[in-house]
Structure 1
Amino acid sequence: MSSILVVDDDKSLRDLLSAVLRDRGYEVEIAKEGDEALKILAHTRFDIVISDIIMPGKEGIETIREIRDVYPDIQVIAMSTGGSLGNVQILEYARMIGAHEAVRKPIKLPDLIAVVEQMLS
């Protein structure tokens, strides 16, 4: 069974994604921000990390960089409502630093499930 770590500061979104992914048969854990996610990753193996970009504490870009450096086999999906870092769009930047996929919030659940299934196939 594939395992997924969902990282987002929005409890309702964490709970929704967790429930939907569990209903699809995945093992799911959740984290509120990047530091918590990295502590979980130190003890548990995941196939995919789905991470928000803008979070309090350790934000998503820094978290994705660390995941790519320390756990290169884990696939990463970045999530954000958008925005930019200078002249670079934040989701584009997330891909540049190692996210395998990037999805815009609000999340369309069928699209996210399709991305997860494609990444795991």
Structure 2
Amino acid sequence: MARILLAEDDGSLRGFLTRALERAGHAVVDCENGDDAVDALDHGPFDLLLTDIVMPGADGIEVARIAAARHPGIRIMFITGFAAVALTAAQATPQAKVLSKPVHLRDLVNEVERMIAA
């Protein structure tokens, strides 16, 4: 079981992701924006940050930078619906995984499992 920090501004998607990850046996702390995710980092440690890139407050790339500084070794996965933003995220944090929306919940859970096992 991993402890996952999820940052996603779309409430319905955040709920689906949280439930899917919890069903897979993970503990999830979910946040509706980047600023809340940055605050939640104080309640770590977390094994994985799963974050949207484009959202209110701190964007996902900034959240990832702060998470990596506060929790060395945290794994980072971005989800985004914007191809150009995905490229920027991949360049900014090359160790991170970038998934494009829409993403099938099973595929997302499988990628999470792979990242945690690595």
TM-score (norm 2): 0.90
SS of residue matched to 1:57: coil
- More helix, by proportion: 2
Residues 20-56 of structure 1 show CA distances to partners (whole Å, capped at 9, x for unaligned) of: 1111110111011111111111122110110000101
CA RMSD of aligned residues (A): 1.3
1:117 aligned to which of 100, 110, 113: 113
Report what 1:57 is aligned to: 57
Per-residue deviation, 1:83: 4.0
- 8 Å Cα contact 1:64/1:97 also seen in 2: no
CA–CA distance in structure 2, aligned partners of residues 16 and 67 of structure 1: 23
Q: One-letter code of the match for 2:78?
A: A
The alpha-carbon distance between structure 1 residues 68 and 96, as it changes in their structure 2 partners (threshold 3 A), is: farther
1:26-105 alignment runs, 5 A limit = 26-84=26-84, 90-98=85-93, 100-105=96-101
TM-score (norm 1): 0.88
Identity of aligned residues (%): 34
Task: Give aligned pairs, total.
Answer: 116
- Structure 2, unaligned runs of 5 or more: none
CA–CA distance in structure 2, aligned partners of residues 118 and 83 of structure 1: 23
**2:12 aligned with 1:16, yes or no?**
no
Residues 68-103 of structure 1 show CA distances to partners (whole Å, capped at 9, x for unaligned) of: 22222110100110142xxxxx21221222251000
